Each structure stands twice: as C-alpha cells, then as structure tokens.
Amino acid sequence: MADRPKVLVTRPIKEAPTARLRERCDVTIDENDFGIPREELLRKVAGYDALITMLTEKVDAELLAAAGPQLKIVANHAVGFDNVNLEDCTAAQVLASNTPDVLTETTADTAFALLMAAARRVGEGERFLRARTPWIWGPLMMLGRDVHHKTIGIVGFGRIGQAVARRAKGFGMDVIYSDAVRLPAEVEAETGAERVELDDLLERADFVSIHTNLTPDTRHLFSAEQFKRMKDTAVLVNTSRGPVVDESALADALESGEIFGAGLDVFEREPEVHQKLLELENVVVIPHLGSATVDTRDAMGHLAVDNVFAALDGKRPPTLLNRDAFRG
C-alpha cells in the first residue's frame, strides 16, 4: 500500500510489538548481528517516517539529515538516551522518545543480582567448579561479604535507584543516596533512604550501586579518587552506563584490593571489556543484560511502538523526550 508509513527498526525486537507495527506500517528490520555500521545506517535511513533505534546507534544531525525531512520520530528502545542528541532532534523537528518505567524493576533486579554475586563470589565459584578444580568443603573457603544489614549507597536516586533501595530494605540494609536533587519526603520515607554527599556515601557504603544517567558531568564520576575513598571491603555495582566509571582505574582498584569486588553490566567502550577486568576473579561481568527479560523486552517494544504510532497520528508520544519539538 503506497501510503503506509515506513518504519526502520535497527535490530530485531520482540514478536508482539513487531506484529503491531506491521499491522499499520511498512517495516524494515535490520538483521545485522553486530548493529548496523554507521556508513550503512546513514544510507539505510533515507525516506523513513520513523526509526526505532537501540542504544548502540548515535542519533545526531548527520543521521537526521540522512533520513530526510519526512522523519517524524526516533523512538529509542532503551530508557537511557545518551546516544540521542536531543538538541539535534529538536532542531530537525523530529520527536525523540525512550522507554522508561517498564524496565525499572527488571533493571533493579539485575543490579541486585550483580551485588549478591560479587559479594558472595558467585562468578568465581562457578569458574572454580567448571574448571574441575579439586576441592572439599572448608571453613575458610571463598569467604565473601555479608549483604544483609549492611549499608548500600545509591548514586542517582531516580526510578531504578529507588527500586534498588526497596530491595535493599528487604535485606535489612541501611540506604543512603546521592543525587543532584533531594527526593520528596514521602519517597525518602518509603525507601528509608537518607541523602548524603557523594564523598560521604563512598566512605560509608558497603555497597555502591550506580544509577545515574551518562552526561558530561557524570562521565568518569568514578575514578581513582573515588575508589580510594571507598572501603576496602566495598562492592561497586554498575548497571547504568559504562563511561560513568573509569574502567582502568576500577581494574587497578580491584587488583590492588582497594575495593573488594565489582558487578558490572555496562562497559566504558562497549562491547569491549577492559582486559584486566576479564582476568580478575573479584569482578562479575555480564553483557548489558539490565532489562533483558522476556516480559520487559516485550514492554519496551510495545512502548516504542506506542511512541511511533502517536507521532504518526500527530499526537504527543507517551514518553516524549524533547517537548519543544512537539507541535500538538
């Protein structure tokens, strides 16, 4: 049909949202296993009315110009949108959206899984057994760190940080947080969290979990100085964005015993992982799986499709990021 809107999805997403999209649009799904190389993407985007992008694609003036003036929306299939230049989108009068809320609980689960795994040496124990290492139960074998009743410091107390705090409460933990803004009293009461300065948090926390956006201000927020402030028994967890942590400084801190361990879902030069991190026993690494569950990826896909449909209908997308671009 000639007048069906054209939508490009840069990686395959779940079946149900894809089927919805196909009901009213001509959909092209790129099957490139390692993401579309930039030059190819610039060629491919021409003529589409909507793009569903991943965090691996840089959305900027160059890409928007390559797409053409008919482009109405870039619906990012992620809550993080550091890959999307909102000013460029607004200047090109292209709406931009993300997928918040639907992945909050799942990402908090991942943060807690990494926290537990790093504290209790789960990755190390797995590797030990899979290597068929001879062993017998011993009272001093692979001693980890208690999680329950310890102090967790949450850096960036937005939706996901708060969801981690609720989990921590269930473990009887004390929760402290640092954030540019103080959260409303009811949020502090519900999560039992106390706001402190970042340096204070680093000195007091047994576990530090990062939930801040990646911005110029948060790039390398964690570097050698921050690791020095942390307890040598502390565990760092990062499920936000890799460049918030200076990976080389982290590897040094883990190697020298400046901190006890780390659980990482995201990496500074993703998909590359710092060589030393891969060699150290006291770090648990997983390949950016924060929101990777069947239900949550369905929900993210549906939300991205809702955003596309709203834009095609001239309505305000439910999770619009650049309000100035919307002329409703």
- Please identify every residue annotated as catalytic: 241, 270, 288
Using the rule CB under 6 A, which residue among 290, 304, 305, 319 binds ligand DGY? Answer: 290
* Pairing of the two strands 26-29 and 6-9: parallel
How far is residue 39's CA from residue 36's CA, in Å, rounded to a whole number? Answer: 8
Decide if residue 96 touches ligand DGY (CB under 6 A): no
The least distance separating ligand DGY from the CB of residue 78, rounded to whole angstroms, comes to: 3
Dihedral Cα 192, 198, 199, 200, nearest 10 deg: -10
Minimal distance in Å, beta carbon 253 to ligand DGY? 24
Among 27, 75, 78, 116, binds ligand DGY (CB under 6 A): 78
What b/e string do you get for 291-316 counting C-beta neighbours within 10 Å, with b at 16 or more? bbbeebbbbbbbbbbbbbbbbbeeeb
Amino acid sitting at position 318? P
Residue type, 273: V
Q: Does 51 bind ligand DGY (CB under 6 A)?
A: no
Residue 102: CB minimum distance to ligand DGY, A: 9
The side-by-side arrangement of strands in the sheet containing 207-210 is: 193-195, 174-178, 151-155, 207-210, 235-238, 261-264, 283-285
- Residues 183, 170, 144, CA angle at the centre, nearest 5°? 110
- Using CB under 6 A, which of 45, 55, 175, 237 touches ligand DGY? 55
Q: Which of residues 103-162 bind ligand DGY (CB under 6 A)?
A: 103
Q: Rank residues 101 and 190 by Cβ distance to ligand DGY and give the closer one.
A: 101
Q: How far is the CB of 55 from ligand DGY (least distance, A)?
A: 6
Interface with ligand DGY (CB under 6 A), residue from 25, 50, 73, 79: 79
Residues that bind ligand DGY (CB under 6 A): 55, 78-80, 103, 290-291
